[in-house]
Amino acid sequence: MDLLENYRTLVERVDALAGRIEEAFSDEIACHRGCDSCCRHLSVFPVEGYALARALEEMPEKAANRLRGLARKVAPDAPCPLLKGGECLLYSARPIICRTHGLPLLTGEGGERRIDFCPQNFTGAASLPAEAVINLDLLNATLATVNGLLVAEKYQGTPPEAPRLSLADALLSSW
């Protein structure tokens, strides 16, 4: 059984949605290759960490070992250990949060609904059409479900101690 099948399906859907938003609102989105101010040392669900670890295994050994070395040294509040020259070294395996950075995200934190996005994007917009916005609460609930399926299979129902792990821990874990 492919433990990442459900996650890959979710990633495909997120990429398709993000792609539609980026295409439809390209004049309003300043994010571009090399723009890395959002790229911090984040925490991810185990399913995302597992996907990153699998992608790391597919890299040439020397490059993978170099990344592991960076992961060992990175501080919790530092830039992402996967960054080099403003670009992600595991771009195709980047977590969900990285795929939606900068785009308008609707969230209901604290009972108050609000839309958040990179301050460099949509600078002239007084409001945003619904098709430009990603429902972050729904996305996170779906990701949590997909993660739960992997955890149930990988850990035989006994979840890991921490519900999330740092990118560095994901790269250094012996999955």
CB 44 within 8 A of CB 95: yes
Question: How does pLDDT run across 122-174, given as a tens digit for each residue?
Answer: 888 778 889 899 999 999 999 999 999 999 998 886 777 778 999 999 999 88
Question: How does pLDDT run across 11-35, given as a tens digit for each residue?
Answer: 999 999 999 999 999 999 988 888 8
Question: How does pLDDT run across 3-16, given as a tens digit for each residue?
Answer: 999 999 999 999 99
Global pTM reads: 0.90
1, pLDDT greater than 70: no
Average predicted confidence (pLDDT) for the chain: 91
What sections of 25-166 are H helices per DSSP?
46-58, 61-73, 96-100, 136-154
